[in-house]
Amino acid sequence: MLRTHAPPSQDLFDVAIIGAGVVGCAVARRFALAGARVVLIEKGSDILSGASKANSAILHTGFDAPPGSLELDLIKAGRAEYLDIRAGLNLPLVTTGALVCAWNEMEAGKLEAIAAQGRANGITALKLMTGAQARTTMPGLSERLVAAIEVEDEHVIDPWTAPLAYLTQAVALGARFLRQAELVEGRFAGEWTLSTSTGDVRALSVVNAAGLFGDVVDRRLGFAPEFEIRPRKGQFVVLDKAAFAHVPRIVLPVPTEITKGVVVCPTAFGNVLVGPTAEEQDDRVRATVETETLEALLERGAQIVPALRAMPVTAVYAGLRPASESKAYRIFTRPEQRAITLGGIRSTGLSAALGLAQHALSLHRAFDAPPLVPVEPPPVALPNLAETRERDWQTPDHGEIVCHCEMVTRREIEAALASDVPPGDFGGLKRRTRAGMGRCQGFYCNARLAQMTKGRLATALAVGDGEGS
Amino acid sequence: MSATADVIIVGGGPAGVAAAMELRRRGAGKVVLLEREPELGGATRHCSHSPFGMREFGRVYFGAAYGRRLAREAADAGVDIRTGHSVARFHGGGRLEVASAHGVETLTARRVMIATGARERPRSDRLISGDRPIGIVTTGTLQSYVAFHGLMPFRRPVIVGSELVSLSAILTCLTHGARPLALLESEPHMLAPAPFAWFPRMAGVPVHLGTRILDIRGTGRVEAIRFRRQDGVEETIPCDGVLLTGRFTPEAALFRQSEIGVDSASAGPAIDQDGRTLDPLCFASGNLLRAVETGGWAYREGRAVARALALDLAHEPVPSAPTAVTFEAPVKLVVPSLLRRQGSGEPAFRDFQLRFTHRVHGRLSLEIDGREVWAQTRTFFPERRVLVPIPEGASAAGSVRFRFREPG
Ligand SMILES: Cc1cc2nc3c(=O)[nH]c(=O)nc-3n(C[C@H](O)[C@H](O)[C@H](O)COP(=O)(O)OP(=O)(O)OC[C@H]3O[C@@H](n4cnc5c(N)ncnc54)[C@H](O)[C@@H]3O)c2cc1C
Ligand SMILES: Cc1cc2nc3c(=O)[nH]c(=O)nc-3n(C[C@H](O)[C@H](O)[C@H](O)COP(=O)(O)OP(=O)(O)OC[C@H]3O[C@@H](n4cnc5c(N)ncnc54)[C@H](O)[C@@H]3O)c2cc1C
């Protein structure tokens, strides 16, 4: 009963996008707005089945991005567009600001250079502070703080509703979303024939946004591999909502060569997260959590904000960054075959997605393809899940509250199930509604959710007659 | 500002309902009972097999029927019952923000009692390694599947934990077509007391004591659990679910998010001998105080705290400064953990309730103002209640302290 759309074999699309991560969703929207007939091909049972389901949810300024890099330009462009469109799409912005914290003299010695790079990157709202000054803006920080840089414009967003909004807008313009459709092979002969696990799709151009499988998909499209994905895992702990009061700002460490380091960060949903780690691995799918690492993160979090020591853990998770052998984004265009690869979008893709989409469209202009005629953006407003704004439970006639920890209403769950891009698995339902995401992790509501989602998810919560589709 | 009620009770489990009825019986005036679920009964609603009500009603009830009996009794007693009402915030000082299908309202009362119960810790809070597939649930969740929806979350689970509730979990599995493949316990002994501790083996469920879970595997649904046995050997059991039992924790979010906070030992609100919290207008009772007790215990505790609360209503609120009861490891928690000189005169708690973190043998003693007034030498077990009488005059003491010494 899961709604998968049979591929329309006779249709010829202007653009086929491989991968419904945050980048693919943003690209689908951008091309749909440009007037293209778009198809988005995803092998998972829902959007955000890869890297994009687990990140720190920071909308970066680019203050610490490599100077002069394409990544920096695209972060800035993506961020600017997000700020521009977010109100219309009803997407939140938690204006936290960030503190880059130096915990010893050696780290403090690096702050000047970080600030200088930030200014060179065009981010002017940067301020060097003593530890004491920084603590007046966030009293929960440990007294051991030596010095900090305040980056006023680093903010937090809802990392799941944003890409869903991008795709929902594209779908409103007629874009097709094919799920459980793995690209197996692509052949170019004047136009693309893309063989997927659920049938063939024809398109004039193709955009590879396959994230952790970007190199694999390039090969399947018949290109000699220009890069190699080397997954880098990041584990997180999410702390109870009571922690939120102690962490009003994003607390960043002084970065090292390989990672931005462990962040203590409020979420749009009123929690606090501590993470991520940076662990190289070969596996592109499994993102396991490990007891010792989680314990170390909890310890690190409590060193940074001592009040976190007593906080119960709400959730633990891990994500995989689609890193490659280079720090740079791996973007390739092949005008002859009308193909674009947006690969290696390692650790800033949430911020840069809309910028990457603009960039892909501009690369596409050089292709030998019929000109596109832009259309008016259709009005699309997503349900708000951020604690910083009014939630559904605060308004009348929501039916009842189903998930008590996250205050998720029956109306919200039913609306998600009936939406234009409905959840395909339980993770997708959680990301769309927050049901089951709270401190009890389903002790009170999981059975009810099993009943409400019977026959609608790829892996059913209940076994037996509720199973499968 | 005129108050909504004389007393508002949050939580319609055994503790909250017993308290509401007792307050009405003692002429407390307007008593409002807020429960976020559609029915009263609390955690007893989904325990379909276990008997409740012997002491309260002189007969045995199963699961939901017990909840219905509670609802009837409470309605007859004139309690204003509001189900489908979820308290979103507790502001202290008798003010609550309440959400229902109608929207949000602020309710006020001269006194508030919170009895929101306890729940089992989820996988996340236990920091267990591995994937995060579908099919990892707690006993409470399993029993809700069965009792409310006629569903099952798995067919061949591995059970983690050996507290009493794990036996309830095994029983639920066996009576609903699921076959537990093993029971894993991290302690070197069963946590449930004999003769209950023999039950898993009698039911044909292999028991592994002193184990450490290495990880849970599965990309969609659970596929296996891997653990290290006491003898150091690693073992993998293919299974389609993991049932995490016990490790209860108070459902104390309302306190954590208020000025009152929680007691770091019990993870519930600190209370005095009357069940009064650090906020003199707020009382608490039932499993919220400490995880975990039986339904009957919660019921009696609710009633006892209500008696003290009824006396408290007759005069000005007591001042807030209490004396804290101190203790150290291996004592895990003490309830009540506060004593107030100006109590109700008829305390709700006649005993200190203690728990230990692990099995130990030694001498537990209680000192009041530096003088030993009680002592006992024996073996103490984790997750089992230890009662120590609260001595006459303890509430006037300057220091109240538990000590523990291992022999030798
Ligand atoms: C721990 C961590 C923290 C991060 N923090 C931040 C942050 O704070 N701010 C920020 O801006 N960014 C952050 N990021 C980075 C951001 O999450 C990534 O850059 C982004 O998610 C990459 O998106 P993507 O669309 O390129 O890849 P993906 O999300 O991996 O999307 C690719 C999609 O393609 C699908 N796919 C793969 N192969 C095929 C195939 N053959 N056929 C069909 N479909 C296929 C996959 O299933 C997947 O859904 C973080 C990342 C991690 C891991
Ligand atoms: C799986 C399981 C098996 C058990 N088996 C047995 C058994 O076999 N025998 C036995 O004697 N005992 C058993 N118990 C224990 C027994 O159910 C509890 O001791 C008893 O229910 C505790 O009563 P209580 O009133 O303190 O809390 P609960 O029964 O937990 O009631 C708390 C109530 O508060 C409500 N609530 C919570 N937060 C809010 C809020 N913010 N707003 C409004 N309402 C709220 C909840 O919905 C709930 O109804 C079991 C418990 C569990 C979880």
Specify whether B368 is located in the same domain as B276: no
Residue of A nearest to B42 (CA): A444
> Are residue B222 and residue B265 in the same domain, yes or no?
no
Residues B113 and B255 in one domain: yes
pLDDT digits (tens, 9 = 90+) for A289-298: 999 999 999 9
Q: Are residues B114 and B256 in the same domain?
A: yes
Domain boundary among B296, B319, B342: B319
Is the per-residue pLDDT at A260 higher than 80? no
Element (H, E) at B235: strand B234-238
Question: Which of A289, A291, A451 minimises the CB distance to B151?
Answer: A451
| Domain end residue (candidates: B225, B246, B267) | B246
Q: Is the per-residue pLDDT at A466 higher than 70?
A: no
Say if the Cβ atoms of B88 and A393 lie within 8 Å: yes
> Is A448 part of a structural domain of the chain?
yes
pTM: 0.96
CATH classification at residue A351: 3.50.50.60
Q: How far is the CA of B266 from the centre of ligand 2 (A)?
A: 17
Our answer on whether the CB atom of B14 is closer than 6 Å to any ligand 2 atom is: yes
Q: What average pLDDT does the segment A237-245 reach? A: 96
Residue B347: CATH number of its domain: 2.60.40
Mean pLDDT value across residues A75-88:
98
Tallying the residues shown for chain B, one arrives at 408
Task: Give the pair of three-digit tokens for residue B361.
Answer: 């043998």
Question: Scanning every residue of chain A, which has its alpha carbon at the shortest distance from the alpha carbon of B155?
Answer: A463
Nearest to B151 among A400, A443, A462 (CB): A462
**Alpha helix (H) ranges present in B135-232?**
139-149, 164-175, 199-202
- Among A63-72, A327-336, B52-61, where is mean pLDDT lowest? B52-61
- Among B90, B123, B144, the residue to mutate for chain A (most A Cβ within 10 A): B144
- C-beta of A182 in contact with ligand 1 (< 6 A): yes
Parent domain of B359: 320-407
DSSP element (H, E) containing A217: helix A214-220
pLDDT of residue A104: 95
Do residue A149 and residue A242 come from a single domain? yes
* Nearest residue by C-alpha to atom 35 in ligand 1: A19
**Co-location of A206 and A306 in the same domain:** no
- Say how far apart CA A374 and CA A358 lie, in whole Å: 13
Instruction: Give the ligand at the shortest distance from the Cα of A285.
Output: 1
Statement to judge: residues B251 and B234 lie in one domain: no
Q: Which domain holds residue A422?
A: 392-453
pLDDT tens digits, one per residue of B166-192:
999 999 999 999 999 999 999 999 999
> Which of B33, B87, B251 to mutate for ligand 2's pocket (most ligand atoms within 8 Å of CB)?
B251
What is residue A256's predicted lDDT score, i.e. its pLDDT?
76
What is the model's pLDDT at position A4? 42
Reported as a single tens digit per residue, the pLDDT across B329-364 is: 999 999 999 999 987 789 999 999 999 999 999 999
pLDDT of A205 above 80: yes
SS3 B80: strand
Mean pLDDT on A263-288: 97
Query: Given an 8 Å threshold on Cβ–Cβ distance, is A294 in contact with B127?
Result: yes
A127 and A268 fall within a common domain? yes
The CATH number of whichever domain residue A288 belongs to comes to 3.30.9.10
Number of structural domains, chain B? 3
Determine contact: B54 vs chain A, CB below 8 A: no
Domains identified in chain A, total number:
3
pLDDT value of position B408: 75
Least confidently predicted of A26-40, A145-159, A254-268, B232-246: A254-268
What is the DSSP code (8-state) at residue A387? T
Average pLDDT over every residue of B250-275: 96
Tell whether A190 lies on the interface with B, counting CB pairs under 8 A.
Answer: no
Q: Is the pLDDT of residue B1 over 90?
A: no
| Cα distance between residue A116 and residue A132, in whole Å | 22
ipTM value for the complex: 0.94
Beta pairing, strands A199-208 & A339-343: parallel
pLDDT digit string, tens, across residues A217-227: 999 999 998 99
Q: Which ligand is nearest to the CA of B243?
A: 2
Tell me phi and psi for residue B178, to 5 degrees: -110, 145
Mean pLDDT of B147-156: 96
For residue A254, tell me if it sits in a domain: yes
Q: Are residues B338 and B223 in the same domain?
A: no
Q: Is A396 on the interface with B (CB under 8 A)?
A: yes
Same domain flag for A275 and A289 = yes
pLDDT at site B68 = 86
**A314–B253 C-beta distance less than 8 A:** no
Question: Which range, of A32-36, A435-439, B314-318, averages the lowest pLDDT?
Answer: B314-318
Answer yes or no: do A394 and B144 touch at CB < 8 A: no
Same domain, A215 and A356: yes
**Residue after which a domain boundary falls, among B246, B268, B283:** B246
In a domain, A34, yes or no: yes
Predicted confidence at residue B247, as pLDDT, reads 96
Minimal C-alpha gap between B138 and chain A (Å): 6
Does residue A219 belong to any structural domain of this protein?
yes
Q: State how far residue B267 is from chain A, nearest Cα, in angstroms.
A: 9
Q: Range with the lowest mean pLDDT among A47-56, A153-162, B63-72?
A: B63-72
Q: In this model, does residue A339 exceed pLDDT 90?
A: yes
- The per-residue pLDDT for B66 is 83
The pLDDT confidence band at residue B48, using thresholds 50, 70 and 90, is low
Smallest CA–CA distance from A246 into chain B, residue: B257
Interface residue A282 vs chain B (CB under 8 A): no
- Are A18 and A141 found together in one domain? no
CB distance B153 to ligand 2 below 6 Å? no
Given pLDDT bands bounded at 50, 70 and 90, which one contains residue A257?
low
> What chain A residue is nearest to B218 in terms of C-alpha separation?
A286
Q: B11 and B108: one domain?
A: yes
Interface membership of B64 toward A (CB under 8 Å): no
Whether B231 and B300 share a structural domain? no
Q: Are residues B77 and B155 in the same domain?
A: no
Q: Mean pLDDT, to the nearest integer, of B57-70?
A: 78
A368 Cα to the center of ligand 2, angstroms? 67
Among B34, B52, B171, B294, the mutation site with the greatest number of ligand 2 atoms within 8 A of its Cβ is B294
Which residues, at least 6 apart from B383, have a Cβ–Cβ distance to it below 8 Å? B163, B191, B246, B355
Does B88 lie at the interface with A, CB-CB under 8 angstroms? yes
Distances (CA, A) of B48 to A98, A153, B36, B147, B291: 51, 54, 21, 7, 21
Residue owning tokens 């050696």:
A106
Q: Which residue has the higher pLDDT, B84 or A310?
A: B84
Judge whether A187 lies within some domain. Answer: yes
A435, A439, A442, A444 alpha-carbon torsion, rounded to 10°: -100
Among chain A residues, the shortest Cα distance to B104 is held by A394
What are residue A30's phi and psi, to 5 degrees?
-60, -45
Q: What's the CA-to-centroid distance between B91 and ligand 2, angstroms?
A: 23
Q: Which atom of ligand 1 is nearest to the CA of A19?
A: 34
Q: Tell me if A447 and B154 make a contact (CB, 8 A cut-off).
A: no
CA distance B345 to chain A (A): 34
Q: Is A345 in the pocket of ligand 1 (CB under 6 A)?
A: yes
> Given a cut of 80, is residue A469 above it in pLDDT?
no
- Are residues A407 and B88, on separate chains, in Cβ contact within 8 Å? yes
Q: Is the CB of B170 under 6 A from ligand 2?
A: no
Tell which one of A45, A49, A151 to mutate to probe ligand 1, the residue whose CB is within 8 A of the most ligand atoms: A49
Mean pLDDT taken over chain B: 94
B55 pLDDT more than 90: no
**Mean pLDDT throughout A31-47?**
98
Q: Please tell me whether residue A374 adopts helix, strand or coil conformation.
A: coil
Domain identity same for A89 and A99? no
- State residue A148's pLDDT score: 98
Please indicate if any CB of chain B lies within 8 Å of the CB of A441: yes
Average pLDDT, chain A: 95
Query: Which whole-number Å values give the CA distances from A200 to A170, A183, A286, A339, in the listed order?
Result: 21, 9, 28, 17
Ligand 1 neighbour A217 (Cβ under 6 A): yes
In this predicted structure, what is the pLDDT of residue A5?
Answer: 43
Is A164 in the same domain as A285?
Answer: no
Calculate what percentage of chain A has a pLDDT beyond 70: 96
CATH number, residue B19: 3.50.50.60
* B323 close to B286: Cβ distance less than 8 angstroms: no
Q: Same domain, yes or no, for A149 and A170?
A: no
- Give the percent of chain B with pLDDT over 90: 85
CB B301 near ligand 2, within 6 Å:
no
Evaluate the omega torsion of the peptide bond into residue A371 and state whether it is cis, within 30 degrees of 0. Answer: no
pLDDT tens, position by position, A306-324: 999 989 999 999 999 999 9
Q: B348-386: string of b/e by CB count within 10 Å (b at 16+)? A: bbeebbbbbeeebebebbbbbeeeebeeeeeebbbbeeb
pLDDT for A300? 95
Which ligand is the nearest neighbour of the Cα of A212?
1
Closest ligand (CA of A207): 1
Hey, is the C-beta of A117 within 8 angstroms of any chain B C-beta? Answer: no
Ligand nearest to C-alpha B48:
2
Ligand 2 atom at minimum distance from B292 CA: 19
Chain B residue numbers with beta carbons less than 8 Å from the beta carbon of A459 are: 134, 220-221
Q: Name residues whose C-beta falls within 8 Å of residue A349's C-beta, 6 or more positions apart in sequence.
A: A21, A22, A23, A51, A52, A55, A211, A322, A356
User: How many other β-carbons are positioned within 10 Å of the β-carbon of residue A262?
Assistant: 23
A11 compared with A237, residue with greater pLDDT:
A237
Residue B258 is predicted with a pLDDT of 95
Indicate whether B147 and B90 sit together in one domain.
no
With respect to residue A462, please indicate whether it lies within any of the assigned structural domains. no
pLDDT, tens digit (0-9, with 9 covering 90-100), for B6-40: 999 999 999 999 999 999 999 999 999 999 999 99
Are B110 and B139 in the same domain? no
How far apart (Å, rounded) are the C-alpha atoms in residues A422 and A5?
A: 12
Consecutive H or E run containing B35: strand B31-35
Tokens of A417: 């199930």
Judging by beta carbons within 10 Å of its beta carbon (0-12, 13-18, 19+), is residue A419 exposed, middle or buried? middle
In this prediction, residue A258 carries a pLDDT of 61
Q: Which residues contact A465 (CB under 8 A, 6 or more apart)?
A: none
Same domain, residue pair A337 and A407: no
Cα(A461)–Cα(A449) distance, rounded to whole angstroms? 8
Are B191 and B82 part of one and the same domain? no
Residues A407 and A366 in one domain: no
Ligand 2 atom 12: the closest Cα is on which residue? B294
Question: Does residue A469 belong to any structural domain of this protein?
Answer: no
pLDDT of amino acid A467: 43
Residue A206 Cβ contacting ligand 1 at under 6 Å:
no
Look-up of token digits 């929690």:
A271
Same domain, A88 and A169: yes
Domain assignment of residue A207, yes or no? yes
Residue A191's nearest CA partner among A13, A344, A55, A54 is A13
